[in-house]
């Protein structure tokens, strides 16, 4: 076996081990934070180094191709950003910090394994590895009266239910094809698609990813988990599992191909309901994290536009949009984590007069919110534009019009955040001091969001090449 | 690509005009001193204006094709290109934008006291977006500039605006954005039908009437909100009243033009049959805008609000001229876009000048100042005359052409728009009468200073120039307008044959 192929995963495992050792004795919190930052920084280099590798290991159940490597790069990048933006770990007690980083690494490891799995059981194990770490991470929080236990239990219960449905779907597919290997399933899929059981099987498997992605009707956990978990944990949950979920959703959509008309119908329905519900519910939210939760439900709907096209350009658009979403969502969470002084939840009115309290943060928030709303020249606009084009080219006119109306609706609450930051008086609210690394991260995210939006060619071509490998 | 005439100059002039202000805006972050920042911004905008003049002198008025063109691939996966070029219609809109930005900076020299650098940053971003909108020949590029402009404009109102700024900026943003999302869907639908985002190529394609019908509706909503045509105008008075002077000027002089420019650039040539089909409705809405805007302006007590409603009426003339589909009407519409930009912009600047002194925009607080501020009243009266289309001023030329077009097309339309001209005289004279001679007057006000004269004088020159000798301006538009009329009539003829 070529260990080089498995290098990013091995590296994350080692990172987790380092923090396991750190958790055995009393270690300084600051040291742990620095270690985490450095290790995740090196992780990015290692993953990017392995981006062009390809091959199959573990008896063909684990495939390394451009598609998986692109997602692994995004995951390692996301992990680094999450660790960096929550650097002081205000809401995690010092003694739990090594464990916190350990489970963060293990969860990322699970996500990386997910995107490379091409065998149903491997996929299941990878997914559980990532989920179980999250089950533990959610209740790790200093504050007491914030419903963290409710959040954790909701996440476990809904997660377990979704996993159950997914396993059920896997059993159907296995029953029909006598194989758990995607490559074998792929060969038999075209003739099976006329049978309802295959469509149901595939759809049930997708339900597992819908749960991660918070697509209606698997979204119930989202607002409560966002509200209950620590800010930094949420910035992880809000972005990283979604990356992997989109990757897997695309893999399985590619498995079905354009012949699966019934499946596409269901996806269209879910996309429309998801974005409409998410945007309407977000309109009335007062807590910033709950607002972002509903916005994430809406964005899951937008991403589905790409998945249901069943062609390369649509898939590439979905990959592009979820990458842009990672950046713009993290920009919002960066502001949220900085404004929250002791790790408490932040309401929209806490942002009042942010442009006087910290002009840079206000700018980051504006760029992030405008990007989420889809205003050019940000990545959010370009992503939406690609998704709309891809979906419309497959004749989903009604769905695209619903998405466009939704975009108009969503402006209201995104603009509302900006309105608080720029239009209101700060009153008694204190200034927000920023450290050097925090400033750097602000500038980095703003630049990345705008550059990615204005010059998308490089990434969209990469995504196209990557998606060609998973299309039937 | 035979619609594009490669750049006659040896440097990419349009890209320079777009990206120089942007670069200048980022340099602002390096400047600490506020006065230095103001001077820097002024210099940048003056350089941009100077650089834009070769557009006029090298413009070839004999052709309708797009000149100074630049073309390079941008996003090949979706066949999106970075294409720029201008024709007779966009030439003056680009020049108007580059002229007004330095004027806006001068006008805000004292007025803006907080967050000066951010204010100047927004102004320069606006310049980038304005020049970009009027010179983009790729639909996606156009859309990006069109939307991107909302953000600095929103901030100009929301941060430096008046007491109701939050409400006004919110309404402005929501309204315009709601219109534009349909523009985006229409744009994608056009791409999927014609296989290109290039605006000149989209014009050559023929679409079924049903397709044109829906595309026109999507375009129409976006542009009608931007113009704004009654009944989509309600965001305008709020935004105008609350915006700082520079914001009002940019809003009136450039942003509103984007709506009418959209009609001329997209609706007429891309969906000609639908344009003919919808023309009666648009003409009806235009006449309603003219009369309603004028009538409401008559009853205003706030100077800015009065001018805002007069804008609705004036823009009604532009849409009226556009949808007559004859040469006079369209030429009148194009020249009227420029005129409105100059005159209404100047009027907002005048209101800004008096507001800086009396801190009130109400007519009754500023009345009777003819003896106290004689120079001011001179300028103000002059621009008021221009706004009511007094012969010898620029608006007279524009409105006359539109009315000639209206009477050639249909006497009823001409007759219905005449009351608008009378109303304009009524509300403008009322305003002028009250401000100049309407009371005792506040003797503490000081007259205009040199800076204020310097930025109003160029606009006054243009008022007279277009008013007495419109030929240098009209000559540039002839070829483009003739071609546009031919495009619409050809498509109309095809429809009749069928």
CA gap B235, B231 in Å, rounded = 10
pLDDT number for residue A260: 79
β-pairing verdict for B66-75 and A55-57: unpaired
Strand partners, B80: B75
CA angle at A351 for the pair A347 and A352, rounded to the nearest 5°: 120
pLDDT at residue A78 tops 60: yes
How many residues appear in chain A?
Answer: 472
By Cβ distance, the residue of B74, B76, B166 closest to A419 is B166
pLDDT at residue A346 tops 80: yes
Q: Collect all residues of chain B within an 8 Å Cβ-Cβ radius of residue A370.
A: 151
Partner-chain contact B165 A424, CB within 8 Å: no
- Window 150-209 of A, Cβ < 8 Å to B: none
Q: What domain range is A206 assigned to?
A: 3-468
What residue has token string 């998606």?
A467
Closest alpha carbon to A204 in A249, A166, A160, A149: A166
Q: Is the ipTM of this complex over 0.85?
A: yes
pLDDT number for residue B409: 84
Residue A112: both structure tokens together: 């990386």
Report pLDDT digits (tens) over A424-440: 888 888 888 888 888 99
How many residues appear in chain B?
Answer: 498
HSE of B232, CA atoms in CB hemisphere, 13 A: 24
pLDDT number for residue B248: 93
By Cβ distance, the residue of A359, A388, A460 closest to B75 is A460
pLDDT number for residue B339: 94
pLDDT at residue A172 tops 80: yes
Interface of B with A (CB under 8 A): 74-78, 118, 140, 143-144, 147-148, 150-151, 154-155, 158-159, 165-166, 169-170, 173-174, 177-178, 181-182, 184-185, 188-189, 191-192
By Cβ distance, the residue of A404, A416, A460 closest to B181 is A404
Report pLDDT digits (tens) over A379-398: 999 999 999 999 999 989 99
- In the structure, what pLDDT confidence band is assigned to residue A319 with cuts at 50, 70 and 90? very high
CA gap A99, B12 in Å, rounded = 58
Report pLDDT digits (tens) over A179-236: 899 888 888 888 888 888 888 999 999 999 999 999 988 899 999 999 988 889 999 9
pLDDT number for residue A327: 95
pLDDT at residue A104 tops 90: yes
Report pLDDT digits (tens) over B42-94: 999 999 999 999 999 999 988 889 999 999 999 888 899 999 999 989 999 99
Q: Which residues contact B450 (CB under 8 A, 6 or more apart)?
A: none
How many C-beta atoms surround the C-beta of residue B110 within 10 A? 11
By Cβ distance, the residue of B155, B173, B188 closest to A411 is B173
pLDDT at residue A258 tops 80: no
pLDDT number for residue A41: 93
Q: Which residue of B has its CA nearest to A412?
A: B174
Q: Work out how many CB contacts closer than 8 A connect A with B.
A: 83
Indicate the helix (H) or strand (E) that contains A181: none
Residue % of chain B over a pLDDT of 70: 99
pLDDT number for residue B443: 76
Residue B190: both structure tokens together: 């056009």
User: What is the mean pLDDT for each group of 10 consecutive residues in chain B (498 residues)?
Assistant: 79 93 92 91 95 92 90 90 92 94 92 87 94 94 92 90 87 89 91 91 90 93 90 90 92 92 92 92 93 92 92 93 91 93 94 90 87 90 92 92 91 89 92 87 82 92 93 90 89 66
CA gap B28, A366 in Å, rounded = 19
Residue % of chain A over a pLDDT of 90: 61
Indicate the helix (H) or strand (E) that contains A62: strand A62-64
In chain A, the number of structural domains is 1
Partner-chain contact A404 B182, CB within 8 Å: yes
Q: Which residue of B has its CA nearest to A460?
A: B77
pLDDT number for residue A205: 92
Domain ranges of chain B: 278-498
Closest alpha carbon to B300 in B419, B427, B439, B168: B427
pLDDT number for residue A191: 83
Lowest mean pLDDT among A102-106, A143-147, B117-121, B433-437: A143-147
């Amino acid at each position: 076996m070529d260990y080089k192929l498995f290098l990013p995963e091995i590296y994350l495992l080692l990172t987790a081990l380092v923090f396991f050792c750190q958790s055995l004795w009393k270690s300084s919190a600051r040291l742990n934070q620095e270690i985490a930052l450095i290790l995740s920084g090196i992780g990015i280099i290692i993953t990017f180094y392995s981006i062009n590798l390809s091959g199959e290991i573990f008896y063909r159940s684990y495939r390394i191709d451009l598609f998986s490597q692109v997602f692994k790069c995004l995951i390692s990048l996301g992990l680094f950003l999450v660790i960096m933006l929550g650097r002081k770990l205000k809401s995690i007690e010092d003694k739990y910090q090594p464990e916190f980083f350990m489970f963060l690494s293990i969860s990322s490891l699970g996500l990386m394994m997910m995107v490379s799995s091409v065998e149903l059981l491997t996929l299941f194990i990878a997914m559980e590895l990532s989920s179980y770490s999250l089950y533990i991470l959610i209740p790790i929080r200093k504050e007491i009266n914030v419903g963290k236990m409710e959040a954790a239990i909701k996440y476990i219960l809904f997660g377990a239910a979704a996993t159950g449905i997914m396993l059920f779907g896997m059993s159907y597919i296995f029953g029909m094809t006598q194989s758990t290997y995607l490559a074998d399933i792929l060969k038999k899929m075209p003739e099976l698609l006329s049978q309802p059981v295959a469509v149901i099987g595939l759809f049930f498997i997708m339900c597992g990813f819908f749960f991660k992605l918070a697509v209606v009707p698997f979204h119930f956990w989202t607002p409560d988990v966002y509200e209950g978990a620590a800010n930094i944990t949420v910035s992880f949950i809000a972005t990283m599992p979604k990356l992997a979920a989109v990757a897997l959703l695309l893999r399985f959509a590619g498995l079905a191909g354009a012949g699966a008309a019934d499946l596409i119908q269901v996806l269209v329905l879910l996309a429309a309901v998801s974005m409409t519900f998410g945007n309407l519910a977000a309109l009335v939210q007062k807590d910033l994290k709950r607002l972002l939760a509903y916005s994430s439900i809406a964005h899951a709907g937008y991403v589905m536009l790409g998945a249901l096209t069943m062609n390369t350009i649509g898939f590439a658009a979905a990959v592009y949009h979820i990458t842009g979403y990672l950046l713009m969502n993290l920009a919002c969470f960066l502001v949220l984590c900085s404004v929250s002084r002791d790790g408490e939840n932040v309401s929209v009115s806490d942002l009042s007069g942010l442009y006087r309290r910290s002009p840079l943060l206000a700018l980051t928030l504006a760029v992030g919110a405008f990007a989420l709303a889809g205003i050019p020249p940000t990545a959010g606009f370009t992503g939406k534009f690609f998704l709309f084009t891809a979906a419309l080219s497959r004749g989903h006119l009604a769905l695209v019009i619903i998405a466009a109306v939704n975009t108009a609706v969503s402006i209201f609450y995104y603009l509302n955040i900006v309105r608080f930051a720029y239009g209101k008086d700060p009153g008694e609210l204190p200034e927000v001091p920023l450290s050097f690394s925090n400033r750097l991260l602000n500038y980095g995210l703003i630049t990345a969001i705008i550059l990615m939006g204005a010059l998308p060619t490089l990434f969209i071509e990469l995504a196209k090449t990557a998606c060609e490998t998973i299309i039937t | 690509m035979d619609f594009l005439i490669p750049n006659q100059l040896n440097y990419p002039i349009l890209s320079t005009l777009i990206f120089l202000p942007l670069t200048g805006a980022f340099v602002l972050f390096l400047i600490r001193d506020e006065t230095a920042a103001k001077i820097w911004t002024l210099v940048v905008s003056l350089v941009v204006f100077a650089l834009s003049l070769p557009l006029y002198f090298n413009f070839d008025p004999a052709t309708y094709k797009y000149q100074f063109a630049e073309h390079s691939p941008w996003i090949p996966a979706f066949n999106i290109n970075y294409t720029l070029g201008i024709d007779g219609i966009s030439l003056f809109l680009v020049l108007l934008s580059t002229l007004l930005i330095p004027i806006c900076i001068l006008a805000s020299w004292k007025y803006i006291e907080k967050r000066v650098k951010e204010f100047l940053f927004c102004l320069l971003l606006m310049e980038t977006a304005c020049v970009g909108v009027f010179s983009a020949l790729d639909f996606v590029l156009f859309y990006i500039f069109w939307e991107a402009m909302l953000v600095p404009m929103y901030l100009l109102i929301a941060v430096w605006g008046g007491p109701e700024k939050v409400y006004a900026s919110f309404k402005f943003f929501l309204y315009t954005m709601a219109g534009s999302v349909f523009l985006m869907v229409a744009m994608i639908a056009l791409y999927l039908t014609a296989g290109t985002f290039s605006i000149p190529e989209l014009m050559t394609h023929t679409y079924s009437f049903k397709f044109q019908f829906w595309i026109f509706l999507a375009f129409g909503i976006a542009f009608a909100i931007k113009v704004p045509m009654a009944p989509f105008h309600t965001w305008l008075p709020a935004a105008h009243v609350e915006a700082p002077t520079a914001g009002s000027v940019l809003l009136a002089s450039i942003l509103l033009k984007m709506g009418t420019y959209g009609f001329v650039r997209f609706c007429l040539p891309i969906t000609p049959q639908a344009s003919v089909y919808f023309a009666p409705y648009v003409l009806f809405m235009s006449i309603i805008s003219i009369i309603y805007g004028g009538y409401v302006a008559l009853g205003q007590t706030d100077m800015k609000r009065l001018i805002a409603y007069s804008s609705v009426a004036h823009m009604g003339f532009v849409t009226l001229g556009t949808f007559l589909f004859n040469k006079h009407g369209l030429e009148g519409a194009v020249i009227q876009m420029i005129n409105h930009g100059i005159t209404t912009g100047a009027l907002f600047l005048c209101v800004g000048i008096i507001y800086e002194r009396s801190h009130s925009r109400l007519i009754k607080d500023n009345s009777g100042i003819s003896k106290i501020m004689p120079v001011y009243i001179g300028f103000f009266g002059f621009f008021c005359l221009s706004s009511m289309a007094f012969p010898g001023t620029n608006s007279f030329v524009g409105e006359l052409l539109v009315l000639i077009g209206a009477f050639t097309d249909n006497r009823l339309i001409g007759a219905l728009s005449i009351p608008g001209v009378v109303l304009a005289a009524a509300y403008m004279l009322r305003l002028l009468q009250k401000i100049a001679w309407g009371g005792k007057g506040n003797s503490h006000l000081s007259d205009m200073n040199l800076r204020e004269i310097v930025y109003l004088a160029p606009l006054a020159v243009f008022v007279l120039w277009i008013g007495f000798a419109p030929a240098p301006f009209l000559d540039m538009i002839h070829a483009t307008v003739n071609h546009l009329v031919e495009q619409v009539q050809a498509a109309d003829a095809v429809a009749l044959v069928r």
